[in-house]
Amino acid sequence: MARLCADPVQAGRMGGVARETVAARFGADVMRAKLCDLYDATLAGTQLSSTTPEPAI
C-alpha cells in the first residue's frame, strides 16, 4: 500500500485494469446473460456446467 501511495501513476494504472476486469466479468450485460442461462437451464430441468473462474492477474 505504501508503494502505491508513493506512486499514484502506478496506482491509477492498476485501478484502471481492475475496473476493466470487473466490468468484463461482472458488468450488467454479462450478469444478465448468465442469469438468462440459469433461468433457461432451470426451466429445461438441466444443470449448468460449472466453470472455473479466471485466475486473478
52 pLDDT band, cuts 50/70/90, is low
**CA distances, 32 to each of 12, 27, 42 (Å):** 29, 8, 15
Q: Under a CB-based contact definition with an 8 Å cutoff, are residues 22 and 56 in contact?
A: no
* pLDDT, tens only, 11-50: 999 999 999 999 999 999 999 999 999 999 999 988 777 6
**CA distances, 28 to each of 2, 22, 33, 43 (Å):** 33, 11, 9, 22
